[in-house]
Structure 1
């Protein structure tokens, strides 16, 4: 096996595991709460558990697969060229497979309750008296917020100040010197007649990705507080795919893919 293929296999396997774990935890929280309180839903519990789970898993798998666990995110990386089409399609296929496995595993660990099995409880659908147009708009909005935050933190860079000390040159009124703080070269001019060290500030493109898991996790958490009563608040096609496959309930399923 070539190194390139080995890296791809590792990434695909990692994406399967991170998607399975994320969806299993998210769906388990909902199922567990519904078993205890069959007539209520708790967005706060869902938001907190989703956010914490996302932070932990992104930190754990970011260097393995990128920890997408969402076909919408993977499609964004394909369109922007950050992931090859081949790798992206592998990721989407494995995410959907992980969704099915996570849903089936729910049925293994949670016994039927009051005539419903765990996979049926995990199905996502619209709220009461919600028309398709409103649900579509809500899903599109939530997905846009999530994908924007991911791209803004995990893939973008920010200019930050770097303090650079330049010593005076030995001769000449003015000499130029090239400084290279943190790999960012800047041409600066220093007046030797001053006879003192000169402090300047330069900028370099330092990655924001170190904060990405926290930002993405918090975003996933607060998005759970939004839209649940309208579209069900999935903002992840993989979240709805597994339960739809296992239960055969495809009601309004296309909205979660197109939105």
Structure 2
């Protein structure tokens, strides 16, 4: 006899390799909430999208372990082998810089927190990888030399002088926030593009929204995926 109203068993989401190409997210979401089903969550991890039974799920590829409170450190483990360290993310100089090292302690690169004074032109986190230009995400209007940026910033302020003061203040605060995010309201974070400094066409990493989840997509073949994980873990902390 058929039993109506019985919930369908959730599929088992198996872990996947950490070095797969494509997008990833950082968090507990296994399946985003839909109008029919509640969100499904698991342990905090770097996760990649997979399709099962016609729905999108996020399979763990890297498990995220955090230690410390004010200035935390992170250890990232392969989800397929939870005891295998993939990389460590450790603070340097009070958390303004995080060194990223592999399982043997060799440096992979550094993830920097942008100083507050620069967050009006540059997003909150950026990457250094040895042998490559700095990987930064500047706002569209803040490209070019320091003089050009200053000139455009002044022109932007002048243009805004005739607008509602509150709107201008909100705009400035948005530019200074990480990714332009604002708590509450209906604000939707804009996509972020990290580029190799000085190479306007060299897109290295992008971030945007998919089903209410912030996703990351490494674009440059030379980018060490572990550095992208580290930046995302710090940004989503």
TM-score, normalisation: structure 1: 0.27
Q: Which has the higher contact order (CA 8 A, sep 6+)?
A: 1
* Structure whose residues are more often helix by fraction: 1
The structure with the larger Rg is 1
* Structure whose residues are more often strand by fraction: 2
TM-score, normalisation: structure 2: 0.29
